[in-house]
Structure 1
């Protein structure tokens, strides 16, 4: 089938267990290799991903959608957290990246931004991104960060919103990706916006959600930063605490591109993905990827076929 070559597929599987600091990719050893490729002149378009399964899956969807238009793609998956990969995109070493618009704005572009809606966030991104970069159409699909607790913990302490944590967090440990500690949409924002400060922080690699879930369910951490499309939220009867003050802004899946390397054909292919992709699609695909252990390239191909993007 069209999609990942065998070597890249094996690298993608291996990527799910690598750490953010490892930063190894699914293609060449150097994540900046292949820069400057043009979607219209026969050179490969370099598609990158962060170091967690959902983002790797989205990158594979983008890659296969581009290949379906006859374009050549080089995959550079599992690069690391946004603090690692963003500069690579800005320099053109990575030319297409599946981003989450609110986090992109708040973490990499303007840490002081107060935009929360999809429209306001995208308007600011288009204004403030470096001139070499732009975003394409956002999908309806959204995956937010959350602070999540077990149903037992929520009931015991009457927890419904992030504000309710203020009286108990000082005695608790929160588990999250290591970058959570230094982000506004994380440890800093919880304190600034809600007055919530946890007693301890348990850092994990962003790709180690299964480990984080085990720590939460066993009580080794009392709260966890879980992605809202993780199927375990429903299956383990976890409680995502509400965020009435919008610490977590809109997080729509949005292609970030290096403009000179992505022609109109490539842009249309990526916008075609955004036009079809829903949050429920993400939930369904993550269940297949995480629970059913299906291969990311197969999950991507199945969705693209169902959406009518490939045949």
Structure 2
């Protein structure tokens, strides 16, 4: 995300200093809650999220599960990309965030070769730097994917990413800015498949900017998450990935070990034990297509799963 994208350094500073852009605080009089160098109260878990809807829903699920066990929780949602929120985890501005195993492993270990869920999880446990740890992974997966319209697929006879090699020089790719430097982004497409696009458009992480640009023909291919309900609704084609550029991307909690009490671990492990890929697709549909509130969708899932 597979599992959430060069403006990162600036975003980190802005995000951590101007919290109104990054989330909420229980104390409206606090002028620098969770800012650089500050940490949350020791009895409170501060849950962050990346800047895309699925991750916001997952953060709300974690929050609801912990609250149900009597854990004090606050949230700071829509922080930004991994390059932005990981520094916040390290400095204690946030304590916990939903993550995706494969892309997180590649972030911590650019030479990682693990592909399967179990291999990736084992390698990730070893690669995650203290004081951070990952808890139990879920069966739910959400991968990045190169997606094209059915018309583009038919025009160029595209079934897999490999088929782009001879035609990408005429095409425009849309993706978040960090896709230009990530191992599974443009560098990976060139290294693994020899695919070089003519033009790159900086958009959002699989969200409405990318979706609309693909639908309106402003881009020919987009980086869109596999759990996006619009793929099926619009008849878009997810290009196959025979060389496993996008490895297993199981949803799991990334947490500061100092906040991972037995109660916290048990509550979050219970979420992972229940969460499926089908759940992600359904919740994404409820939020993005049916316009339901993310917190309400999360609470409904927790109730249906018997966790609240």
Q: Which residue number in structure 2 is paired with residue 198 of structure 1?
A: 197
Q: Which residue number in structure 1 is paired with residue 304 of structure 2?
A: 306
2:228 is equivalent to residue 230 of structure 1: yes
Secondary structure at the aligned position of 2:80 is classed as coil
Higher deviation after alignment, 121-130 or 292-301: 121-130
Q: Structure 1: how far apart are the matches of 2:90 and 2:228? A: 29
Q: Structure 2: how far apart are the matches of 1:116 and 1:132? A: 25
Q: Structure 2: how far apart are the matches of 1:59 and 1:36? A: 17
Secondary structure at the aligned position of 2:78 is classed as coil
Residue 91 (structure 1) shift: 2.5
Q: Structure 1: how far apart are the matches of 2:111 and 2:221? A: 26
Q: Structure 2: how far apart are the matches of 1:122 and 1:158? A: 35
Q: Which residue number in structure 2 is paired with residue 282 of structure 1?
A: 280
Q: Which residue number in structure 2 is paired with residue 25 of structure 1?
A: 22
Displacement over 3 Å in runs of 4+: 19-23, 28-34
1:190-238 CA-partner distances (Å, limit 9, x unpaired): 00000000010000132x6112111111211000000111110000000
TM-score under structure 2 length normalisation: 0.89
Q: Structure 1: how far apart are the matches of 2:261 and 2:275? A: 22
Contact 1:254 1:274 in 2 (8 A): yes
2:70 is equivalent to residue 70 of structure 1: yes
Q: Which residue number in structure 1 is paired with residue 294 of structure 2?
A: 296
Secondary structure at the aligned position of 1:299 is classed as helix
Q: Which residue number in structure 1 is paired with residue 175 of structure 2?
A: 176
Contact 1:102 1:249 in 2 (8 A): yes
- Aligned pairs, how many? 286
Q: Structure 2: how far apart are the matches of 1:307 and 1:27? A: 27
Higher deviation after alignment, 84-93 or 159-168: 84-93
TM-score under structure 1 length normalisation: 0.88
The unaligned stretches of length 5 or more in structure 2 are: 1-6, 16-20, 26-31
Aligned-residue CA RMSD (Å) = 1.6
1:30/1:181 CA distance change after superposition, 3 Å? farther
Residue 301 (structure 1) shift: 0.6
The unaligned stretches of length 5 or more in structure 1 are: 1-18
Q: Structure 1: how far apart are the matches of 2:40 and 2:128? A: 18
